[in-house]
Amino acid sequence: MAYLGLVPGEDSTGEKHRRGRSTRTGNALVRRLLIETAWHYQHRPSSGVALTRRRTGQPGRVIAIADKTQQRLCRPFRRLMEQHKPAPKVAVAIARELAGFLWAALHPAVPAS
């Protein structure tokens, strides 16, 4: 998440911790794609005709992961909007969550020692 610039900047001294806007460092294209993707989670999770067509022939396990992810990211987006948070901040927060989810899904599991 820090590599993509999706973490808050920090200005801390002693006991004071001040968090600022996102750092916006790292790969701007990937950050932009994640934020654009996060905006789609403002809509209720559903499977339209086009999505159903694309899912034809896909393993059930993959479809289950996709549905779980859609539920997992839509819920906090809506909850934060109900708390009257600024929409761009909500999109960045969801993009950060999505980056973490993708990293966990694609990163090979480390065996316990």
Question: Is the pLDDT score of 113 beyond 60?
Answer: no
> Is residue 20 in some structural domain?
yes
> Is residue 106 in some structural domain?
no
pLDDT in tens, 64-103: 988 988 998 999 999 999 999 999 989 999 999 999 888 8
> Is residue 100 in some structural domain?
no
DSSP, res 113: -
Selected residue with higher pLDDT from 7 and 61: 61
Structural domains of the chain, count: 1
The distance in angstroms from the start CA to the end CA of the chain is: 26
CB atoms within 10 A of CB 58: 10
> Is residue 97 in some structural domain?
no
> Is residue 52 in some structural domain?
yes
> Is residue 33 in some structural domain?
yes
Reduced to 3 states, what is the DSSP secondary structure of residue 7?
coil
> Is residue 3 in some structural domain?
no
Q: Residue 59 belongs to what domain range?
A: 8-92
> Is residue 58 in some structural domain?
yes
